[in-house]
Amino acid sequence: MEYRWDSIKARINVGKHGVAFADAVMALEDELAITIPDPDSEDEERFIAVGSDAFGRILITIFTLRGDEIRIISSRKASNSERKRYEGAK
């Protein structure tokens, strides 16, 4: 699978959340990443993934599948409660 994203959205994400989409790719490739369908998505099928990036940060990444591509929509650092749930599930 290839990873894709909108370059403008990627810059906005860094400014808003301090997370580059390249770091989100690493979190998506985390062997222990947890992925679930996004229950709040109405327009398209989206997924929520929780995984660790190369810096050891636990990231929440929203993405969709388009053909053979994973399109990253958003990524942010996990809250304390999200991080604890992820670490408890490993």
Predicted TM-score (pTM) of this structure: 0.92
**Tally of domains within the chain:** 1
In this prediction, residue 90 has a pLDDT band, given cuts at 50, 70 and 90, of: low
What is the arrangement of strands in the sheet containing 2-4, beginning at the earlier edge strand?
A: 2-4, 69-77, 58-66, 46-52, 34-37
Give yes or no for a contact between 33 and 57, defined as CB atoms under 8 angstroms apart: no
Domain that holds residue 46: 2-89
Mean predicted confidence (pLDDT) in 54-76 = 97
Per-residue pLDDT at 75: 99
